[in-house]
Structure 1
């Protein structure tokens, strides 16, 4: 509010801002100027006080939004990381990863393995654990059994058990497979023989009774080999062996043997996956003084209708150990000589009696509708209507060959001996004839061998007459 002013001339009270006193007419400009200056000073002072008060009462600035955002991001990462790790280290998921690694040599296994053997504990590495992975990769059924056994909390083959082993990230139980140690003692029958484990030289024998203990090692699939020069001939014995926990012995004797591989003529012979020859016209190939290893195996291949078929693989060493000198690898789904002889023998003897033995028809593809079955019935029926034939019978005298002709099919060459007793004016006589049927076809259907055709014969191989 402005201060009251008075006319300096007459003393009358006047309003501020008037140029002259309304009472006496005195000029008031100096008083107004002074009043304005005082008002201005007062106002300025008031504003200054107000400004100072404002500066003192100014509110705090808000927190930086970026700091708040960063804080929440960190919280999200921590919480998300915890739940992510909790999911990753779930016992079942850990177990699944362990089983997968044990059956796959391309996976890292060392982080999942522990052992109670202090020496073996220092050998834990992906390289040293490959034998375990190779074994389970090759034996899927064993891997499935391992998984089931460990899930039940039991020990597999007295070798593998699953245990908790510390914690991951301080919070989550970590599981590992505890593996028991394996040992193997190698022996041979000569001095100067060198032992190898997976290609690594172990030692050389100094006498024929020398042995070498290997271990502790991890269980699994290993290749052991012995090699030396015996009587001027270099010999090698290689054995792929599966080691389990505990101790085992492995003989790596150096020896030679003579044996024959037989099968369909023209078949190619392989020993330990190496081509070594072809079966001759008699379907045979002989090997003399051949070096024998524990895992010496043989198989045949044969071209059929433009395709190459492979036989089953036979362990030659095992066959020789059981006294077999002739070894005949068979083809999958292809009838063996002994089974072919039994099947054809039952077919011929059964049809001798006509349709009385209805079970005979079941030996043929299509049963009663099979043309070969009906041809045999007619063939033997012709003997019944021959007044000169008193008795007759048939006998499979030999299976000459069995040749694969495709999947579950084979061409069989066989010989049949017929015996007839006849009567006539000159008395009774007996005739024996042998016929060869080179192209019978036997197939495998629903797990059973059946005759597709009995083949065709042209003339007797030989015949003999016997008179009373």
Structure 2
């Protein structure tokens, strides 16, 4: 068979032009047809199949695809195994379908960046918020609130790291409130391990930031008394209603703070009450001695009209600088002190343990930062001297600043100088000179920290010579004695108590006139 015959037969049998590969293969075979003759029905079916294949796939089938169809007409058509199209138009469609994915990726990237920035900001804030300095300031603020519920936010036991209850924290809050601790004193409390309170790191927050807490060292309180039939209480709670003569009770695991113990009952037919009102903390175990004793002693103090306390029981009042206490039932473990409230300010003296006091003793319990009678006497005596100097020299003494606050600018000093000038130069009869002296302090009343009112007597002598009385040529001395009140203040620069002002309420006590 020649080439032309082969080509006609191929088209007739396959319904299409041969591919270059099919043509070369036939040429190599001498254009001989090895395929069996098909009947007209098969040829018609083949033509229909080729037409359907071309329509569905956009191309004519290969010779292998045709041969496969001939070998099994009942098999699925070539559409099921068609090679995916690689036309440019279809590629463009695929690119177009990927556009929404790019926008989604952009949203994801943007969200990731925002989250990363927020995370970094949160970490930065966390390191500041949980830093030592910031935590320390929060601890000071919590302590100053006097509120056990606030204390719970940062307080924990030093031995177990567990949180404390509000009831457990109340003694510490009571102590801070009772002592009216200022910012500086609160800082000292947090740094004073001997008080059982400290500020330290304890683990971390969120696994990243340090956690600082107020650590409280637990203390055991051993309560004892030597008397029977006493009711013993602590902070208002009853420990026992009936003691024996060797009563002992150990109260375990208490927080540092202010504890008020009382033992009350009958002793030798007389109702007695003793108490201990102290800060306990900083040791594993502390003793609370409620033994009953009686003492008679005298207390002197610079807090006039203040109450004398043994524990939390008032046992006397300071009058004219002292209080005589007789047969006072007290606890040998308690302390005696003087306390008063003036103008809303609580003022308290130093404390003295009763174990150091014997019957008939006289003790002095002055308040720090309070004016003593001796200091008031010295300042007012200096005041009299500088006034006398001005009356004799008519110029300011170099010691004015040792008596008057703000020196020669002090209003009280200037008022005295005006009075002196008037009596020397413009009075009905002018004095030759004036003497001030014989100062006697009658009372010192503390009105607050570094403030006091001093009631005192002062003598003023107006000396007259005959030259000021041309008619009668009389001479002599007019002596007047006044009761004055000096408002005094402590000057931290000079470290002295000075006269701030003189009260306008003055009283003339006496007058003697020997001018003849």
TM-score range (shorter-chain normalised) is 0.5 to 0.7
**Cα gap change, 1:200/1:457 in structure 2, threshold over 3 Å: closer, same or farther?**
closer
State whether structure 2 residue 440 is matched by structure 1 residue 398.
Answer: yes
Distance 2:336 2:110 in 1: 63
Counterpart pick for 2:280 among 229, 242, 248: 242
1:59-95 residue CA offsets vs partner (Å, 9 max, x unmatched): 9999x98x99999999999989987896687598265
Secondary structure (helix, strand or coil) at the match of 1:191 reads: coil
* 1:126 equivalent in structure 2: 165
Cα distance in structure 2, aligned partners of 1:135 and 1:456: 40
From the superposition, tell whether residues 313 and 97 of structure 1 become closer, same or farther in structure 2 (CA, over 3 Å): same
Aligned with residue 340 of structure 2, among 276, 289, 299: 299
CA deviation profile, 1:369-408 (whole Å, cap 9, x unmatched): 713135458879999959xxxxx97642533456789995
Q: Which residue of 2 aligns with 1:106?
A: 149
Q: How many residues align?
A: 402
Q: Distance in 1 between matches of 2:508 and 2:157?
A: 75
Partners of 1:182 and 1:260 in 2: how far apart? 33
| Cα distance in 2 between the residues matched to 1:136 and 1:451 | 32
Is contact 2:154–2:214 with CA below 8 Å preserved after alignment?
no
**Backbone CA RMSD of aligned residues:** 6.6
Residues 374-389 of structure 1: pairs in structure 2 closer than 5 A: 375-376=419-420, 385=432
TM-score w.r.t. the length of structure 2 is: 0.52
Q: Counterpart of 2:264?
A: 227
Matched, 1:43 2:48: no
Name 1:184's counterpart in structure 2.
Answer: 221
Q: Using the alignment, how far apart are the partners of 1:442 and 1:185 within structure 2?
A: 47
Residue 397 (structure 2) aligns with = 358
Shift of 1:449: 1.3
1:145 and 1:404 map into 2 onto residues whose CA distance is: 26
Shift of residue 98, structure 1, vs aligned partner? 7.3
Which residue does the alignment assign to 2:235? 198
For 2:12 and 2:373, locate their aligned partners in 1 and report how far apart those are by CA, in whole Å.
Answer: 146
Q: Measure, in 2, the Cα distance between the counterparts of 1:456 and 1:52.
A: 121
Please identify which structure carries the higher helix content.
2
Asked if structure 2 preserves the Cα contact closer than 8 Å seen for 1:398 and 1:416, the reply is: no
Structure 1 residues 357 and 370: alpha-carbon distance in aligned structure 2, compared to 1, 3 A threshold:
closer
Alignment CA distance shift 1:371-1:247 (3 Å): same
* Counterpart-to-counterpart distance in 1, 2:186 and 2:308: 31
Q: How does 1:35-434 map to 2 (within 5 A)?
A: 40=48, 42-44=50-52, 47=56, 49-54=77-82, 93=130, 95=132, 96-97=134-135, 100-101=138-139, 103-104=142-143, 105-107=148-150, 109=152, 113=156, 115-116=158-159, 121=160, 125-127=164-166, 128-132=168-172, 139=181, 140-141=183-184, 143-145=186-188, 156-157=193-194, 159=196, 180-203=217-240, 206-230=243-267, 231-233=269-271, 235=273, 237-253=275-291, 294=335, 298-301=339-342, 309-310=343-344, 312-314=346-348, 318=352, 337-353=373-389, 354-355=392-393, 358-362=397-401, 363-364=403-404, 367=408, 370-373=414-417, 375-376=419-420, 385=432, 395-396=437-438, 398-401=440-443, 410=453, 412-416=455-459
TM-score, normalised relative to structure 1: 0.56
Q: Could you tell which deviates more after superposition, 198-207 or 78-87?
A: 78-87
Distance 1:80 1:270, change over 3 A: farther
Does the CA contact (< 8 Å) of 2:235 and 2:261 recur in 1?
Answer: yes
Secondary structure of the corresponding residue to residue 438 of structure 2: strand
Question: Structure 1 residues 287, 188: closer, same or farther in 2, change over 3 A?
Answer: same
For residue 283 of structure 1, report the CA deviation from its aligned partner.
11
Q: Note if contact 2:155-2:164 (Cα within 8 Å) is conserved in structure 1.
A: no
Residues 146/264 of structure 1: CA separation in 2 closer, same or farther (3 Å cut) = closer
| Pairwise CA distance, 1:239 | 0.9
- State how far apart, in whole Å, the 2-side matches of 1:264 and 1:168 are: 50
Q: Contact conserved, 1:190 with 1:205, CA < 8 A, in 2?
A: no
Q: Distance in 1 between matches of 2:453 and 2:195?
A: 46
Please tell me whether the aligned partners of residues 313 and 329 of structure 1 are also in contact (alpha carbons under 8 angstroms).
yes
Gaps of 5+ in 2: 1-7, 14-41, 57-75, 466-475
User: Which stretch shifts more, 34-43 or 229-238?
Assistant: 34-43
* CA distance in 2: counterparts of 1:285 and 1:200, whole angstroms: 32
Task: Report the equivalent of 2:27.
Answer: none
Ranges in structure 1 where 5+ consecutive residues have no aligned partner: 6-33, 150-154, 302-308, 387-391, 423-430
- Does the residue aligned with 2:80 lie in a helix, a strand or coil? helix
C-alpha distance 136-278 of structure 1, shift in aligned 2 (>3 A): closer
Cα 1:111–1:81 change in 2 (3 A) is farther
Contact between 1:237 and 1:254, CA under 8 Å: does it hold in 2?
no
